[in-house]
Structure 1
């Protein structure tokens, strides 16, 4: 099912795609034009983010339907995740205002919004429990917070590579924007911030699992449940290792990548298989 221009959510999402594209290609500028060009970049990004938010609300709650319904799927989940990560980037922009990061996030957001046109997910009229909406919201929040942790972890790894590169080498020049000075914060501060996002995402994932068990009658062990619990265990081990044994650097990042992969497979992966590969309806 391809989203039609007649759909209520098409035009906000189309505006978001175009504005994200502008934000990703507009130059930062040099000299006296820096401030003016930066304002244009952030204006485009703000417009895209707001249009993206409107499309998420309209599409998630399926106002086109004759009865109240919620729409979910792997592409909308990715769209919400990139929207939340961009919100974190906007808050952190005074310290992480790297053009390359902004361009990458803008392109990623545009791709996920466009992907939602082709794979809008399934409508689920009503819900079996009043706790179900909170379960869905906390699940999306956990994706967004872990996504923000991944963004900070990637910057941290780039900064570490820069510190290890020989001065004047090609790799040092390539990674010059990833230094702790360019990031606007010490490397240890960036590492601490990464783990804080992991802890916040872990808390939201815990709430998601508790609400899922509470609102499901009966509880069933499907692929989504198994991968969600496995990702919860990996993040629990990571946080325990961090605060009890002082895990840092590559070791912590490897556990973060492992837990994030399992979390991605939990909802987005299972939905992708059901919707795209098997063409079967999936249980929320």
Structure 2
């Protein structure tokens, strides 16, 4: 087992203020939001930067920290272009805090498997596309969950935490669709570069491992949803369930497989 370092503890603590302020609906003032987002993002980004210098880490703990750092950076970019996305921090920040705690605990059982990014053609590009698409799909899934909660509150005619904290349904759906198109393009490119890597190394395009199978299923779910949305205008809670199903499959493919390998089988 490895010991938990100070950088991991700081990264966990840094996410707490953003989580509390988001849950309490106190991020209506953009300066406060950007300050808390900066406090939350700097420790994970620094942690990942230090880790990558020693080679790409394939363990569960490193995977979770890379995901957290990428999600926070991309979320900041999304919020800069769409202020309504700030309201999603009420759901996104606590979720990232949970992931950070899991990453810190996983560090006890981590197996360090450094990979030289320059040693495999297209590997660095594949990693960037795969992590980026997972981060975007995480933000999209959080938007989908916000829609489910908003519609449930409206159905029950309750004007409470959801309406006061989360962004309006119409704005959230537009943001969700835009992010999903970008995530789908990045996922397709990630699968293509992954197949190219496999072909250059083994002469075969894709070995149907659990990770590849689940990733392909997640991509298929997202593509089918986008087609249905264009053809039928699929939206609301049914659309959110499609997105959450796709996100669940990709989560099982990305950190899920590493959890089984490093924790359950390690």
Of structures 1 and 2, the one with the larger relative CO (CA 8 A, separation 6+) is: 2
Distance in 2 between residues matched to 1:121 and 1:72, nearest whole Å: 8
* Structure 2 partner of 1:74: 60
Cα deviation, residue 25, structure 1: 4.4
The residue matched to 2:144 in structure 1 has which SS? helix
Residues 45/188 of structure 1: CA separation in 2 closer, same or farther (3 Å cut): closer
Q: Deviations over 1:16-48 (max 9, x none)?
A: 222223444469999xxx89x986775354123
2:9 pairs with 10, 14, 22, which one?
14
TM-score, length-scaled by structure 1: 0.77
1:153 pairs with 144, 148, 156, which one?
144
Task: Give the RMSD, CA atoms, in angstroms.
Answer: 3.1
* Structure 1 partner of 2:46: 54
Cα deviation, residue 224, structure 1: 0.9
1:251 pairs with 235, 238, 242, which one?
238
* Structure 2 partner of 1:194: 176
Does residue 263 (structure 1) correspond to residue 245 (structure 2)? The answer is no
Residues 109/276 of structure 1: CA separation in 2 closer, same or farther (3 Å cut): closer
Structure 1 residue runs of 5 or longer lacking an equivalent are 5-9, 63-68, 167-171, 280-284
Distance in 2 between residues matched to 1:276 and 1:124, nearest whole Å: 18
TM-score, length-scaled by structure 2: 0.82
Q: Aligned ranges for residues 95-244 of structure 1 at < 5 Å?
A: 95-98=84-87, 100-101=90-91, 104-105=94-95, 107-126=97-116, 128-166=119-157, 172-173=158-159, 176-179=160-163, 182-185=165-168, 187-216=169-198, 217-218=201-202, 219-244=206-231
Residues 97/230 of structure 1: CA separation in 2 closer, same or farther (3 Å cut): closer
Bigger Cα Rg: 1
Higher helix share: 2
Count of residue pairs the alignment pairs up: 255
Check whether the contact 2:130–2:190 (CA below 8 A) recurs between aligned residues: yes
Distance in 1 between residues matched to 2:223 and 2:30, nearest whole Å: 40
The residue matched to 1:233 in structure 2 has which SS? helix
Structure 2 residue runs of 5 or longer lacking an equivalent are none
